[in-house]
Amino acid sequence: MNFEPPKRIQTLLSDIRRFVERELYPLELTFFTDGFAAVEDALAQKRQDVKARGWWLPQIATELGGMGLSLVEHALIAAELGRSPLAHYAFNCQSPDSGNMVLLLERATSSQKERFLKPLLEGEVRSCFAVTEPERAGSNPTWQGTTAVRNGDDYVLNGHKWFITGADGAAFAIVMATTNPDGALHERSSMFIVPTDTPGFILEENVFTMGRQGEGWASNGELRFRDCRIPKANLLGGEGEGYAIWQERLGPSRIHQCMRWIGVCERSYDLMCDFALKREVGPGEPLADKQFVQGWIAESRGEIDAARLLVLDTAWQTEKSNAIETRDRIGLIKFHVAQTLGRVIDRAVQIHGALGLTDWTPLAYFYRTERGARLYDGTDEVHKLNAARRLLRRYRESASGGA
């Protein structure tokens, strides 16, 4: 693997870094203290700037208005954007919309693309992705309490979802629901495109998370479906393909998510080192001279670099084959990078002392929001177990074959 990106990508990364630092960092304090609505108008202008620079939709093909980057190239961009909690939104590659775009590109009918995908690509609307339920373990997506019952040319949805990112203000949701409870385990659920103005689609509230409720895109909604009737034309893919579609969405999304976390780590590391050099614990005694601090800085640098290389190698191998072939690696990066992220943010907060608990740096925001990295899209424990079982299976097969 060539560890050095092409010159055009290196230049692009530098340009994007400068844009994020100069245009988005100044908006962060207002976002932290006053919420997403307080910066939404300013971000709308930044989005126009991004479009004008040709940086819109890094994950989408050029013929559809995107940058047409490869998986590895997009991963590198995601790390730069991860330095600011506002950057992915500014580039229209924020979760969950980015994953929904790819899903609609691959699975939607022509009419579904025209109605739902096109305005999403243009940045005219947002979407959300509704799988997780409070009554069922989120680590088991085959077990869905939300149901979709066929009624003539419609389906009628009933159920309960929560921690649905960006549901507040979304134009539509992609919803996973059980359509055949007695079917084969991985064929019981289906995916549906549900406009949020459909009768029976209810946003009950934005869930308070670590003391903050959030709003707009920067929130996690609790949804109810009460006799929510949608036409058969809104079925995404075929009936019973919900789990397969969910799996298709996860592979590339996890790579991009892990590289966003690398960006969070890099921002936290920069803040950690800068503060350690500036902060004096006594006259002429910078915090950076203390061995505990030096150890944290060295450990963080090594862990970030190792995590970055693991993710990029996974992206490269996935490009050569597919996400099914590299699912072990994708599971490994999910928990490895999430744990690295937690350690680096925690060290940065510790080095900043009381300042690290305030909103005067992004560290408190990172600490609140990124703790969930070890939970969503499957807990660390589930990813470890699944990866270990598959890895051990190969050794068993090899041993039995050689007997």
pLDDT in tens, 266-305: 999 999 999 999 999 999 999 999 999 999 999 999 999 9
Mean pLDDT of the chain: 94
* Structure tokens belonging to residue 294: 């030096």
Nearest-angstrom CA–CA distance, 27 and 37: 12
CB 158 within 8 A of CB 227: yes
CA geometry: angle 292, 350, 340, nearest 5 deg: 85
Closest CA to 258 of 326, 320, 339, 328: 339
> Which of the listed ranges 4-8, 20-24, 244-248, 399-403 does the model predict with the highest average pLDDT?
20-24
**Mean pLDDT on 155-175:** 97
Which pair of tokens denotes residue 233? 């034309």
Burial pattern 83-116, b for ≥16 Cβ within 10 A else e, equals bbbbbbbbbbbbbbbbbbbbbbeebbeeebbebb
pLDDT recorded at residue 3:
65
Residue 1 has pLDDT above 60, yes or no: no
The domains of the chain are located at 7-96+104-122, 127-236, 244-402
* Residue whose entry in the numeric block shows the structure tokens 């809104």: 234
Kindly tell me if the per-residue pLDDT of 2 is higher than 70: no
d(CA 316, CA 72): 6
Residue 202: which of 164, 240, 154 has the closest Cα? 164
Q: How many CA atoms lie within 13 A of 331 on its CB side?
A: 20
SS3 assignment for 219-276: EEEEEEEEEEEEEHHHEECCCCCHHHHHHHHHHHHHHHHHHHHHHHHHHHHHHHHHHH
At 325 the pLDDT is 82
Across-strand partners of 280?
286
Residues 22 and 272: their CA atoms lie apart, in Å, by: 20
Question: pLDDT tens across 115-149, in order?
Answer: 999 999 999 999 999 999 999 887 788 889 999 99
Q: Give Dmax (Cα) for the chain.
A: 79
pLDDT above 90 covers a percentage of the chain that reads 84
Q: Looking at per-residue confidence, does 303 or 322 come out higher?
A: 303
Q: How confident is the model at residue 402 (pLDDT cuts 50, 70, 90)?
A: low
Residue predicted with more confidence, 278 or 387: 278
Mean pLDDT of the region 252-270: 95
Give 19-65 pLDDT, tens digit per residue. Answer: 999 999 999 999 999 999 999 999 999 999 999 999 999 989 999 99
Helix (H) or strand (E) holding 341: helix 327-352
> Can you tell me the distance from the alpha carbon of 195 to that of 203, in angstroms, rounded to the nearest whole number?
12
Q: Which of 227, 233, 250, 217 is nearest to 141 (CA)?
A: 250
Per DSSP, the three-state class of 152 is: coil
Tell me, what's the pLDDT at 326?
A: 85
Higher pLDDT, 254 or 205: 205
Rounded to 5 degrees, what are φ and ψ at 218?
-90, 60
CA angle 90, 93, 94 (to 5 degrees): 80
Provide mean pLDDT across the span 185-200: 96
Q: Are 375 and 339 in contact (CB under 8 A)?
A: no
342-374 pLDDT tens trace: 999 999 999 999 999 999 999 999 999 999 989
Rounded-to-integer distance, Cα 369 and Cα 273, Å: 22
Percent of the chain with pLDDT over 70: 99
Q: What topology does CATH give the domain 127-236? A: Butyryl-CoA Dehydrogenase, subunit A; domain 2 (2.40.110)
Q: Is the pLDDT of residue 323 over 80?
A: no
Torsion of CA 358, 360, 366, 368, to 10 degrees: 30
- Determine the Cα–Cα distance for residues 382 and 216; give it in Å rounded to an integer: 30
**Per-residue pLDDT at 327:** 84
Whether residue 96 is preceded by a cis peptide bond, meaning omega within 30 degrees of 0, is yes
Topology of domain 7-96+104-122, per CATH? Answer: Butyryl-Coa Dehydrogenase, subunit A; domain 1 (1.10.540)
First to last CA, the chain: 35
The pLDDT score that the predictor gives to residue 219 is 97
Burial class of residue 186, CB neighbours in 10 A (0-12, 13-18, 19+): middle
Q: Which residues contact 330 (CB under 8 A, 6 or more apart)?
A: 250, 251, 254, 255, 314, 318, 323
CATH superfamily of 244-402: Butyryl-CoA Dehydrogenase, subunit A, domain 3 (1.20.140.10)
pLDDT digits (tens, 9 = 90+) for 74-105: 999 999 999 999 999 999 999 999 999 999 99
